[in-house]
Each structure stands twice: as structure tokens, then as C-alpha cells.
Amino acid sequence: MLIEILAAGAGAPQNSFGFWEAMQQGGVIAWFTLGILVIMSVSSFYILFSKLFEQNKVMKQGDAATATFWKAGGLKEGAAKLDKNSAYRQIVDDAIKADGDHAKLTDPVEAHDWLHGSLARSEATINSKLATGLPWLATVGATSPFIGLFGTVIGIYRALIKIGIAGQASIDAVAGPVGEALIMTALGLGVAVPAVLAYNWLQGRNKRIAEHLSAFSNDVLGYMASDGGVKPITKGSAAPAKAAAPAAKK
């Protein structure tokens, strides 16, 4: 019985239409197209994980700024409590520097406008840094299907050439080139879809970070404009006591 099974397995036809066989039939163009798609896919995942790590770091810095900064007695004291490389520390440092530079201006400029412009520029710098790499994800999502389509066109073209040489459209003549064409289409889509999803997800997280940075920057501006009189209400701060309701008349 065992001999019969081995004999049957030995006599079974080998699969000559697999992935590697199709790529080998495609030649240099197929391997070159595959190489481009692999590079685009690897770089997309690298950007995804690196930006995700960077975003999580900034979000933790925002939580730390909310918890500790406004409990300090002044901007410099609050800045000292923040991480030196924190994005929120950068906003505070830029605000302090802008406040000092305003006194050096020879042309009179409103202090509020000067501080607002300096803080807006600081926010823009941070947001620009967070957005690095995202255009590449958008490029990969937009172009990788067309790169896969290029391999598809080459595969179909080779299939037509084989049909013309053989004089008939037999399965064994066109299976390799058609399989290569379908593989390239699938690879192009497989690279594009994760890149588009990663781009939209990271963009949404960047938008939330930008909103938190803008709120923090506005609070810093209000604190400086009021000479420390205006502070945001944090979880650790006590809520203002409500005025006692007037006694009801008898």
C-alpha cells in the first residue's frame, strides 16, 4: 500500500504555474516591478510605525503638560517641569522668548499680535514635523496600483505574444503570463490599501494633536496676556465655589 502511495506521488505532475515560476517567466521586468512594490511596502510600514511612535510620544507629553504645567507658579517654573525635548516645552520657550523680544522692537507692535504670531509659528513647526513622511504614504497609495498595472500590462502582452506564436490560445501557453499579470495586480493593491489606511489614520491622529497644541498655545497666550490671572481648569485644580443661594422669603 505504501509503495502504491509513493508511486502515485512520484507520478503526480509538478506545479509549474506558481508564484516564483510566474515571476521567472516574467523576467527582468517582473522582478524589477516586484522590487519597486516591495520597497514601497517596506517604507510605508516603516513610516507607519515610526510616526505612530512619535505621535504617542507627543500625546504623552500633552498629558504631562496638562497635569503638571499649570500647577506651577509661572511660565519658567512650569517649563522646567516639562521634558526638555517636549513639543509643549517648545511652545512655552518660544512664548517666553517672544515676550522678551517684544521689548526690543523699535517699531511698535501690539504685544498680543506679536505673541500670537510667535505661538502660531511654533505650532506650525511642530505640526510640520509630525506630517513628515505622510506625503510618501499618499504617493504610495496613489501610484502603487498603477505600478502593479504596468506589470499586468506586460504579462498580458507576453500572453498575446505566446498565443500569436502558438497559433492557438491553449491554457499551458498563456497560464504563466496571465498568472504573472494577476499577481502584479494583486501586489499593487496589497501595497496601496495599507498605505491609504495608514495615511488617513495618522492624519486623524495629527489633527487631534494639533487641536490640543492649539488649545495649550491659546491658554499660554491668555496666561501671559492676563499676567497670570487666567489659567485653564485642570483635574487637579479646585473648582470655584458656588455662591450661596439667597434664602427664600417667607
At 50 the pLDDT is: 95
Q: Tens digits of per-residue pLDDT, 190-210?
A: 999 999 999 999 999 999 999
Q: Residue 166: inside a domain, yes or no? A: yes
Q: Residue 151: inside a domain, yes or no? A: yes
Question: 133 pLDDT exceeds 80?
Answer: yes
Q: Residue 175: inside a domain, yes or no? A: yes
Q: Residue 212: inside a domain, yes or no? A: yes
Q: Residue 129: inside a domain, yes or no? A: yes
Per cent of the chain over pLDDT 70 is: 74
Question: 249 pLDDT exceeds 50?
Answer: no
Into how many domains does the chain fold? 1
Query: Which residue range(s) make up the domain with 197?
Result: 29-69+76-225
State the pLDDT confidence band at 11, using cuts at 50, 70 and 90.
very low
pTM: 0.76
Whether 105 contacts 8, CB under 8 Å: no
At 19 the pLDDT is: 58
State the pLDDT confidence band at 6, using cuts at 50, 70 and 90.
very low
Q: Residue 239: inside a domain, yes or no? A: no
Question: 152 pLDDT exceeds 70?
Answer: yes
Q: Residue 234: inside a domain, yes or no? A: no
The C-alpha cell that represents 118 in the structure block: 510667535
Q: Residue 95: inside a domain, yes or no? A: yes
| Helix pair 171-225, 87-102: axis angle to 10 deg | 40
Least confident of 18-22, 54-58, 99-103, 163-167: 18-22
Q: Tens digits of per-residue pLDDT, 46-82?
A: 999 999 999 999 999 998 888 888 888 888 888 888 8
Whether 213 contacts 91, CB under 8 Å: yes
Question: 12 pLDDT exceeds 80?
Answer: no
Q: Tens digits of per-residue pLDDT, 201-237?
A: 999 999 999 999 999 999 888 888 887 777 776 665 5
